[in-house]
Structure 1
Amino acid sequence: MPPTDTQSAAPEARQTVTSEAVLDAALTLFAERGYHGTALSQIAERLGIRTPSLYNHMRSKQELLETLVAATLRDVLTDFHGAVADSEDPVVQLRAATRVYALRHATHRREALVVNRDTTSLPEPALTEMRERRREHERAIRSIIMRGIECGAFAVGNAGLASFAILEMSVSIARWFREDGPRTAEQVADEYAEFALRICRYRG
């Protein structure tokens, strides 16, 4: 029955915090303050809950970092494979692979900052596993460049050094790109794709 004048209505139910919300809050704080500079109490405060309630969604702060890094590196590889799937031409593949990687660093800046700064805070064996996923991406880019050299499309002398330069320049986007800047994320990604071809001394 509805409450009378002498009865008070039940308090409004508090919004449920999900595991996804915990990860998102952790990602934001790790990006802003660094993994070691973020306390679990700060994540809980951001979510409006008590710190012990976080343990309904995770075992430790370390697990949060591992989950975030693993998801990001998985998505990087998924992006790569999707970008190069429609062509065997190393020029087309390098342009597409660089573009999608650059675009991710402009549109997923929090993830990029955390992965590139805080992955080394992971314990073994997680650290070795995450490093291997990053090396898998680098080897794939290097393989494209080597095929481009073999077919005469690229004239760069060192495929490994070229792949490193392309990846590192793309990583830097997360540190300087701003949504309200003079270029959109897509424009930056397009330009970086052309930079990659220049690094490889494209003969087109």
Structure 2
Amino acid sequence: MTSEAENANSVAVGWRSFPPLPMSDILRHSLELFDENGYHGTTVRQIANRVGVTVPALYYHHASKEAVLVALFEVSMEELNTRTEAAEEEAGEDPVARFSLVVEAIVLYMTHRSHHAALDTEIRHVSPESRSRYAASRKRLELLMRKIVNDGAASGDFSVTDTDETVRAILGMCQSLPRWFQTGGPMTPSQLAEKYVDIALHTVGHCS
């Protein structure tokens, strides 16, 4: 099985680079089927057939279809958090640079890993316990953004009246990208990231 540490190591080449994720065949094929049919429309037997194993063999690795989905959530959020934290670290102390690179990292993730990010809509299918763990992983990113915006407000670089809602609005804007972004469309992920950074900077009251 693929550990979260192995997924995080994929960021070692640089948070702007997106090599294939080191996922197991079960997770890789499950992601394909969830993207094609939705979580509810995919059966365990379909996953097993796509992978080329028996249903009992699949259950040896994952106790249920929900467990497969939860494992994909964990891969997705760990990579997103690792990338955004690497981007902030690269930026140094300046709040504007930190904010800009973190927003860029989010947009690049949402576009390069759009199939992973789109799984967010399936969270309603998991147990309250699994949903709470996923919410905690998402909170990690939200707290990072709040800290940066608060630092920018304290330094006079940003002007916001409600940090929490401003951060939620920016994250919501970025997290909606997988619903419509298409590879090969009019803008590349990098071009889209540049535009979204500009929009986000205006949202926090920074005008260069």
Aligned amino acid, residue 29 of structure 1: L
Q: Which has the larger radius of gyration?
A: 1
TM-score relative to the length of structure 2 = 0.83
What's the secondary structure of 1:180's corresponding residue? coil
Count of aligned residue pairs for this structure pair: 185
Share of identical aligned residues, percent? 30
Q: Which residue of 1 aligns with 2:75?
A: 71
Q: How much has 1:48 moved relative to structure 2?
A: 4.0
One of 36, 47, 56 as aligned partner of 1:43: 47
Q: Which residue of 2 aligns with 1:110?
A: 115
Aligned amino acid, residue 170 of structure 1: C
Q: How much has 1:90 moved relative to structure 2?
A: 0.9
Q: Distance in 1 between matches of 2:157 and 2:207?
A: 5
Query: Contact between 1:155 and 1:203, CA under 8 Å: does it hold in 2?
Result: no
Query: Contact between 1:27 and 1:111, CA under 8 Å: does it hold in 2?
Result: yes
Stretches (4+) displaced over 6 A: none
Q: Confirm or deny that 1:101 pairs with 2:106.
A: yes
TM-score relative to the length of structure 1 = 0.85
Query: Contact between 1:138 and 1:163, CA under 8 Å: does it hold in 2?
Result: yes
Q: Which residue of 2 aligns with 1:190?
A: 194
Q: Distance in 1 between matches of 2:54 and 2:140?
A: 40
Q: How much has 1:160 moved relative to structure 2?
A: 1.1
CA-to-aligned-CA distance 1:6-44 (integer Å, 9 cap, x gap): xxxxxxxxxxxxx71111111111123222221112212
Q: Distance in 1 between matches of 2:182 and 2:103?
A: 19
Q: Which residue of 2 aligns with 1:129?
A: 133
